[in-house]
Structure 1
Amino acid sequence: MVCRVLVVISLLLSLVSCEKEQDKVEDGVSLELAKERKANIGGVTYKLYFSIPADRSEAIMAESTIFFELFDLVPVILDFKEAKENILAVTSSDGRKVPYTFKNEHIIIQPEHLKKGRNELVIQFKAGESSLNRSDDMLYTLLVPDRCRTLMPCFDQPDIKARFKLTLKIPSRWRAVANGEPVRTEYFNDYKLYEFEETKPLSTYLFAFTVGRFSYVERYVGGRWIGIYHRETDTSKINASIPVIAREVSHALDWMENYTGIRYPFDVYNVVAIPDFQYGGMEHPGAVYYRASTMFLDRNADLSAWMKRSDVIAHETAHMWFGDYVTMRWFNDVWLKEVFAGFMSDKIMTQLYPDVNHRLNFFLNHYEPALRTDRTKGTHPILQELDNLKDAGTLYGDIIYHKAPIVMRMLEREISERRLQIGLQRYLRRWSYSNADWDELIKLLESTTGQDLQAWNEIWIKESGAPVIEFQKNGIVMTDESGKNRVWPQAVSVFWDYMGLKRTLIPLRDSLTPFRYGAAVVLPDGDVMGYGCFLPTDFSIRFLDDELGNLNDPLYRAVAWQALYEGVLHKKVKGEFFLKLCIKHLPQEKNNLVVNRTLSFLKIIYSTYLDEGSRQLIQDDLERFCINMVNNKAEGKNKKSYFNTLLSICSSPKSCSYLSSVLKGEQDLPEDVTINEQDKISIAFNLVLRDTSVYEDTKAYIMRTVKNKDLLDRFEYVYPSLSGDKQVRDSVFNALLVRENRVNEVWVEECLRWLNHPRRRMEAEGYVPKLLGALQEIQQTGDIFFPGSWLSAGLAGHTSKNVYTMVNSFLEKHANYPQNLKLKILSNSDHLRRLHSEEENRDRLK
């Protein structure tokens, strides 16, 4: 009798436990679920098989054998964001069927079908394809941050690391690359089998493979083999780029090994150059993805293009240690892997380009990109909150990629370069092939240095926003626009004129810092110890108009242009004046990095911050300026920058005729200006936008003269968005709202930019409500940067009060809208706020 009671009680407790597990399971991966799984599951290995047919309409059949240790006998919950029908069978190691429940994107297996200790489950399934970027002759996985569960059943959280043993069946003419090294390849009539070596422990978001028609080359550099998979067809680009890519990967690996004191922690390094890849790069060990157009450059590429390639190689390589070897515990700390990848890449670049002003490069790489979000109402702290991994993609953006490196450089100055290096070496050794969070690292740095870093941590890491800094009669004033009266401790450079140009460094520790030398110009410190929106006064505007060319350090010329641009955004400087300053001062500017950043400001001001009358008044001067710089005045590598600026601003028949002649090869250009196939397509798009009567002829010309298949595929997808027929453009926009038509997000973004181009902004206003309405689905179905790109491409071209009202109305009607997406809307519509908020306030006061 007692035994029966005990059995009944045991069954009841088991049922209660199961019900609790069922209640706890929600879509995505909740923080609660992740913590419980981490406490109970370890030693995971995935033995995987995928059969990939040549016909992309056919399903990909797959099998996963999952080995894991179970510490307590509790239900096991696997993540699988696909239909239940995709699960074909779940069995044990001896072939017995294992019962399971499928609920809210999870496979739930009860304790009675498991055992304490080592378990083995075999799952046959149809692979999910929402994160398989699949075209006719290529397929690549992209599983960051929580997309492994869209491909296969798994424990999809960064702190349950696993080993992956992969076998792929692919068409016989394709190649395959994955995290591990190929250990066996078998050839059959119409397919072949690749078997890859088991990996070191990896987080699920780092699992990757790519298959398709690729060329493959390898180079032996610095005592190691570097493999390069690519689809480039331009032999001059291939010959110019392959040696440089291999050399720079090897250099980055050597530098990281020296800095960390740890050998490259993975077995193989392959570069995979993917046409129109969604990101600049992705750090999968063994199969590092890069955007092909960044990697393969023509012989006349300018310094900015070379440095962009070097920077992304250094960044992704640094991730092998910071992010892959040691990974954040939860994606709220995603900034932690990004900040050190960016921080290390800046250091690597210093050795790679000894003749470049790297203080300048750091400023240009991070300062304006950080403020692009931090000066808006859509800003957020570096360290963010995250309750569910399904929302992890919304955490990515300019703050973690650009403000975080600025802040980390401040920390390095605070505790010393050597102490930071020692602390990071301890961090990597302590959590090798494992996980750690920011709190653990900051405590380790405090123990290494003996310094209390909590006040610094609070204002720079856990608080959002940037101060506004300007010179007033009584000194240097720091303002917190949020109204919280916060102070960001930092140092700034002050220029003043007393018997010659003087500069001094002044620390700011309060909202008012007296300055006794009279009127002055306050700018961020050249070593980027200062950060904020530095506003010019009437005196500083006159001063820079006269003295900008006399600032010998190109860094301070870049800082001055940044301050003037900030003045335009804050309505302290007129847009027309800024453009006239460009025409006046840029002919004397030799530095390619300063030229490119200033021209980017010029293009934004021209399209966004000038009214139509002002634009027409300065149009001829700007076009003439650009053409003269291309043909005569600019330094060799700068000529292409001015050509691309002309492409953006051209309007007159004369400039369009000039560009048409360039497209057809009828216009003589300086030898420093090379027009490649990508350039031809860009010229074609811009010409058709301005004169739709040439639509068909231009299309025929491009189809006849461009040979690269990937470029032609992109051209055919994007081209209808330039049609002169609004019904055609409407149909393109409506097609983009359908998920199946958004396979290539880079192409989608380009379509949106042309559909909402400033020249079409009036006709495109009707797209805005649907654009905003689709954002949640875009976040749920797209890759991590896509929500921001979707908004930027759709809103950047608009300047009307009507669109500003649409955005505000949308936010008012959706009071409970997801906070991170709301912030992205506010950030990407900030130009509308700056154009119309004062007018709106005046209307309210009437």
Structure 2
Amino acid sequence: MVCRVLAVISLLLSLVSCEKEQDKVEDGVSLELAKERKANIGGVTYKLYFSIPAEKSEAIMAESTIFFELFDLVPVILDFKEAKENILAVTSSDGRKIPYTFKNEHIIIQPEHLKKGRNELVIQFKAGESSLNRSDDMLYTLLVPDRCRTLMPCFDQPDIKARFKLTLKIPSRWRAVANGEPIRTEYFSDYKLYEFEETKPLSTYLFAFTVGRFSYVERYVGGRWIGIYHRETDTSKINASIPVIAREVSHALDWMENYTGIRYPFDVYNVVAIPDFQYGGMEHPGAVYYRASTMFLDRNADLSAWMKRSDVIAHETAHMWFGDYVTMRWFNDVWLKEVFAGFMSDKIMTQLYPDVNHRLNFFLNHYEPALRTDRTKGTHPILQELDNLKDAGTLYGDIIYHKAPIVMRMLEREISERRLQVGLQRYLRRWSYSNADWDELIKLLESTTGQDLQAWNEIWIKESGAPVIEFQKNGIVMTDESGKNRVWPQAVSVFWDYMGLKRTLIPLRDSLTPFRYGAAVVLPDGDVMGYGCFLPTDFSIRFLDDELGNLNDPLYRAVAWQALYEGVLHKKVKGEFFLKLCIKHLPQEKNNLVVNRTLSFLRIIYSTYLDEGSRQLIQDDLERFCINMVNNKAEGKNKKSYFNTLLSICSSPKSCSYLSSVLKGEQDLPEDVTINEQDKISIAFNLVLRDTSVYEDTKAYIMRTVKNKDLLDRFEYVYPSLSGDKQVRDSVFNALLVRENRVNEVWVEECLRWLNHPRRRMEAEGYVPKMLGALQEIQETGDIFFPGSWLSAGLSGHTSKNVYTMVNSFLEKHANYPQNLKLKILSNSDHLRRLHSEEENRDRLK
């Protein structure tokens, strides 16, 4: 009797414990849940089957057999962000039905249906489709950071790595590629079965497969087979690009093996070139996704385009070691995989382009993109906090991709290149096919070097923002615009002119550093040793007006343009003065990288920081300048850059007529300026924006002359956003607010940019409150970069005080708004703050 009573009490306690366990389960994957699961679950394998029909309206039926070790007899909680109806059955390996509870995006199985040690669950389900980028003849998964749970039941956290064994049933004319190598293909009348080899241990966000109408080629380079899946139809692009892609993948793999001392840690490397892919690339082992337009280039593509392709290949390949082989424990350390992918890609590029100035390339790749966020009130530390994986997508952005490599280069200078390499080799070996966090790595580096790195760690990794550094008569002033009076220790290489240009290396350790020639500074940090918003002096502005083109190093000229641009943002340099400097000095600039960055500044200043009167005064000069540079025989590889700038700024009937004749092939262009189908669509969009009377004729011309189906699909989706009828544009915008209409996020972003283009900004102001109101839903349903691109596309075209007030009112009304999304609003509306905050302060004083 006593034993029976004890048993009943034990059962009741168990039920109470299980109820408490269920009460703790919240939407998403909380940090608490992740820690508990990691302590109790290991040895996971997913044996998966997906049946993918040709019709995208039909459901994808699937089955997953999940093998796992259970260390303690506790409830097992699987993540599945789908309707309960999508779960068709949960059974044991012998077919016995297993009861479960479905709550807050989780399948909960009680301990009495499990056992300590090896368990096996069989789950039949309809695949969730929110992360299946599905069109009529193509589908690809994209499951980063926590979206594997939107596809299938799983333990969706980075530190429960698993092996994946995948079988796909697909239409007979389609191809399939996944993480593992295909080991068996069976053909039937209207479908075929692909079976893939079991993978090495992977985090769930790295599981991937793509199916659809793809062409496939493979190349044997450097003792490796590199497979390339693509949908490109331009034969000249295919022939020019395929050998380069294969060669550069092989080079990046060789370099990483040599640097790390570890052979490529996975079984196969396939390139999957996806039209209008929403990222530059994604590092799935065995199936590395790339944006097709970056991979397949014209024969006359400029150096910037070539280097962009090389950089993304190197970046994604470096991820095979940093991110895939060793993965962060939790997504607050997502920067840890990104920083070393970016850092290694910069090193790989140095070997790949020996004639390029790589100090210049590093500066252009990272400094302005980092400051784009770090100089705003929406900035954040490199290392961020994260309580739930459902918010992990908000951590991505310029800080982790661009500021992190800058500070890592500072660390490398501090401890030496060789010691960093040795430390990273130890890191990779210590946590191979496993997980580690930043604190573990920094401690390992301290033990490798014998140096205390905590002070550096605190200010550069765990604090946000960039100092404003200004040179005055008595010295160098470092200002913390947040009001916290912080100091960022660093060294700067100051170029100053007092009876001849001189260079001095100066350590900055305080808010004021004495320097007697402060007022005579020409370049505040010519060798790019430090980091911050470096403002030009009055002397440097006068000096660069005369001598910018005579600076002998392209890095110095790039630093000069950056300082002048900072001067515009901080109201020390007039926008029209900057544009006149472009017209004056760019004709002598031959470096393609410097040209492209400076023209990007020109376009921003033209559309955002000039008033309408100033824009009209300089309009003819700018258009004439761009056309002359396109037709300048001596200009070389920069002509397409000037052509694209003309597209952005054109206004007069003369320039629009010129572009119309280019579109129709009636205008003779230099032979090294290629107008491809993508260019035709861009020209069409810009012409219709400026003259809606040609809307129907231009549409007919594009539909008749463009042959690439993917480009035509994009064109038809975006084109109504350029309509001259505001009711049509309103209907397009309202459609974008509906989740089902946002399947292709790249197209959505493009629509939003045209709807809110500076030429339409007055009519589009009414979109802003709705666009801000939709942001949380955009974050919950979209991919990681979508909230930022949604805001950028919707706000960057606006400059009015009215929109500035709308943004501030939205933030004031939503005092408890998610912090990471609030920061994205602040960073993407920073230009409005710069245009109107002083005016607002004056109004308040009145």
Output the TM-score relative to the length of structure 2: 0.99
Deviations 1:632-686 (A, max 9, x none): 1652110110010000000000000000010010111111110000000000000
Deviations 1:249-278 (A, max 9, x none): 000000000000000000000000000000
Deviation at 1:628, TM superposition (A): 0.6
Deviation at 1:509, TM superposition (A): 1.1
Do the aligned residues in 1 keep the contact of 2:536 with 2:563 (CA within 8 Å)? yes
Deviation at 1:523, TM superposition (A): 4.1
Do the aligned residues in 2 keep the contact of 1:338 with 1:401 (CA within 8 Å)? yes
Residue aligning to 2:506: 506
Count of residue correspondences:
846
Residue aligning to 1:237: 237
Cα distance in 1 for partners of 2:286, 2:527 equals 36
Cα distance in 2 for partners of 1:282, 1:527 equals 33
Cα distance in 2 for partners of 1:498, 1:679 equals 49
Cα distance in 1 for partners of 2:45, 2:522 equals 57
Cα distance in 2 for partners of 1:711, 1:294 equals 14
Closer/same/farther in 2, CA of residues 527 and 7 from structure 1, 3 Å limit: farther
Do the aligned residues in 2 keep the contact of 1:778 with 1:787 (CA within 8 Å)? yes
Closer/same/farther in 2, CA of residues 457 and 173 from structure 1, 3 Å limit: same
Cα distance in 1 for partners of 2:10, 2:528 equals 64
Do the aligned residues in 2 keep the contact of 1:524 with 1:530 (CA within 8 Å)? no
Deviation at 1:517, TM superposition (A): 3.4
Deviation at 1:805, TM superposition (A): 0.3
Deviation at 1:506, TM superposition (A): 1.4
Do the aligned residues in 1 keep the contact of 2:549 with 2:588 (CA within 8 Å)? yes
Deviation at 1:524, TM superposition (A): 5.5
Q: SS at the partner of 2:359?
A: helix
Do the aligned residues in 2 keep the contact of 1:587 with 1:634 (CA within 8 Å)? no
Deviation at 1:528, TM superposition (A): 3.2
Residue aligning to 1:463: 463
Deviation at 1:520, TM superposition (A): 2.4
Do the aligned residues in 2 keep the contact of 1:522 with 1:534 (CA within 8 Å)? no
Deviation at 1:536, TM superposition (A): 1.2
Cα distance in 1 for partners of 2:161, 2:743 equals 29
Closer/same/farther in 2, CA of residues 526 and 349 from structure 1, 3 Å limit: farther
Deviations 1:755-799 (A, max 9, x none): 000000000000000000000000000000000000000000000
Deviation at 1:521, TM superposition (A): 2.1
Closer/same/farther in 2, CA of residues 217 and 806 from structure 1, 3 Å limit: same
**Which segment is superposed worse, 482-491 or 682-691?**
482-491
Closer/same/farther in 2, CA of residues 552 and 68 from structure 1, 3 Å limit: same
Cα distance in 1 for partners of 2:524, 2:429 equals 36
Cα distance in 1 for partners of 2:94, 2:495 equals 78
**Which segment is superposed worse, 592-601 or 513-522?**
513-522
Pairing 1:372–2:372 present = yes
Deviation at 1:525, TM superposition (A): 3.6
Deviation at 1:493, TM superposition (A): 2.2
Do the aligned residues in 2 keep the contact of 1:492 with 1:522 (CA within 8 Å)? no
Cα distance in 2 for partners of 1:160, 1:816 equals 33
Deviation at 1:484, TM superposition (A): 1.1
Deviations 1:779-836 (A, max 9, x none): 0000000000000000000000000000000000000000000000000000000000
Deviations 1:99-142 (A, max 9, x none): 00000000000000000000000000000000000000000000
Cα distance in 2 for partners of 1:524, 1:206 equals 43
**Which segment is superposed worse, 524-533 or 756-765?**
524-533
Cα distance in 2 for partners of 1:592, 1:36 equals 53
Cα distance in 1 for partners of 2:566, 2:688 equals 33
Deviation at 1:522, TM superposition (A): 6.1
Deviation at 1:324, TM superposition (A): 0.1
Unaligned runs of 5+ in 1: none
Deviation at 1:539, TM superposition (A): 1.4
Do the aligned residues in 2 keep the contact of 1:524 with 1:531 (CA within 8 Å)? no
Deviations 1:429-469 (A, max 9, x none): 00000000000000000000000000000000000000000
Q: SS at the partner of 2:518?
A: coil
Do the aligned residues in 2 keep the contact of 1:492 with 1:505 (CA within 8 Å)? yes
Deviation at 1:11, TM superposition (A): 0.7
Deviation at 1:546, TM superposition (A): 1.8
Q: SS at the partner of 2:72?
A: coil
Cα distance in 1 for partners of 2:462, 2:544 equals 35
**Which segment is superposed worse, 471-480 or 209-218?**
471-480
Cα distance in 2 for partners of 1:753, 1:221 equals 41
Deviations 1:713-771 (A, max 9, x none): 00000000000000000000000000000000000000000000000000000000000
Residue aligning to 2:591: 591
Deviation at 1:526, TM superposition (A): 4.6
Do the aligned residues in 1 keep the contact of 2:527 with 2:555 (CA within 8 Å)? no
Cα distance in 1 for partners of 2:498, 2:169 equals 75
Do the aligned residues in 2 keep the contact of 1:148 with 1:205 (CA within 8 Å)? yes
Cα distance in 2 for partners of 1:366, 1:8 equals 64
Deviation at 1:498, TM superposition (A): 2.6
Do the aligned residues in 1 keep the contact of 2:496 with 2:523 (CA within 8 Å)? no
Cα distance in 1 for partners of 2:401, 2:797 equals 24
Residue aligning to 1:752: 752
Do the aligned residues in 2 keep the contact of 1:304 with 1:593 (CA within 8 Å)? yes
Residue aligning to 1:618: 618
Deviation at 1:407, TM superposition (A): 0.3
Deviation at 1:500, TM superposition (A): 2.0
Residue aligning to 2:82: 82
Closer/same/farther in 2, CA of residues 588 and 400 from structure 1, 3 Å limit: same
Cα distance in 2 for partners of 1:16, 1:432 equals 40
Do the aligned residues in 1 keep the contact of 2:158 with 2:203 (CA within 8 Å)? yes
Cα distance in 2 for partners of 1:685, 1:521 equals 44
Cα distance in 2 for partners of 1:444, 1:728 equals 59
Cα distance in 2 for partners of 1:814, 1:356 equals 49
Do the aligned residues in 2 keep the contact of 1:50 with 1:169 (CA within 8 Å)? yes
Do the aligned residues in 2 keep the contact of 1:471 with 1:522 (CA within 8 Å)? no
Deviations 1:522-563 (A, max 9, x none): 645455321000111211111111221121110010001000
Residue aligning to 2:707: 707
Cα distance in 2 for partners of 1:338, 1:522 equals 34
Q: SS at the partner of 2:343?
A: helix
Do the aligned residues in 2 keep the contact of 1:587 with 1:633 (CA within 8 Å)? no
Cα distance in 2 for partners of 1:148, 1:217 equals 29
Q: SS at the partner of 2:350?
A: helix
Pairing 1:383–2:390 present = no
Deviation at 1:5, TM superposition (A): 1.6
Deviation at 1:496, TM superposition (A): 1.8
Output the TM-score relative to the length of structure 1: 0.99
Residue aligning to 2:11: 11
Q: SS at the partner of 1:202?
A: coil
Cα distance in 2 for partners of 1:518, 1:113 equals 75
Q: SS at the partner of 1:618?
A: helix
Do the aligned residues in 1 keep the contact of 2:74 with 2:111 (CA within 8 Å)? yes
Do the aligned residues in 1 keep the contact of 2:534 with 2:566 (CA within 8 Å)? yes
Cα distance in 2 for partners of 1:690, 1:719 equals 14
Cα distance in 2 for partners of 1:194, 1:696 equals 45
Closer/same/farther in 2, CA of residues 71 and 523 from structure 1, 3 Å limit: farther
Deviations 1:35-57 (A, max 9, x none): 00000000000000000000000
Cα distance in 2 for partners of 1:517, 1:322 equals 45
Do the aligned residues in 1 keep the contact of 2:495 with 2:524 (CA within 8 Å)? no
Residue aligning to 1:143: 143
Cα distance in 2 for partners of 1:531, 1:33 equals 39
Do the aligned residues in 1 keep the contact of 2:475 with 2:517 (CA within 8 Å)? no
Do the aligned residues in 2 keep the contact of 1:736 with 1:742 (CA within 8 Å)? yes
Do the aligned residues in 1 keep the contact of 2:522 with 2:539 (CA within 8 Å)? no
Do the aligned residues in 1 keep the contact of 2:21 with 2:75 (CA within 8 Å)? yes
Cα distance in 2 for partners of 1:518, 1:454 equals 32
**Which segment is superposed worse, 526-535 or 801-810?**
526-535
Do the aligned residues in 2 keep the contact of 1:283 with 1:319 (CA within 8 Å)? yes
Deviations 1:149-208 (A, max 9, x none): 000000000000000000000000000000000000000000000000000000000000
Do the aligned residues in 2 keep the contact of 1:603 with 1:648 (CA within 8 Å)? yes
Do the aligned residues in 1 keep the contact of 2:535 with 2:566 (CA within 8 Å)? yes
Matches within 5 A, 1:113-192: 113-192=113-192
Q: SS at the partner of 1:811?
A: helix
Do the aligned residues in 2 keep the contact of 1:470 with 1:522 (CA within 8 Å)? no
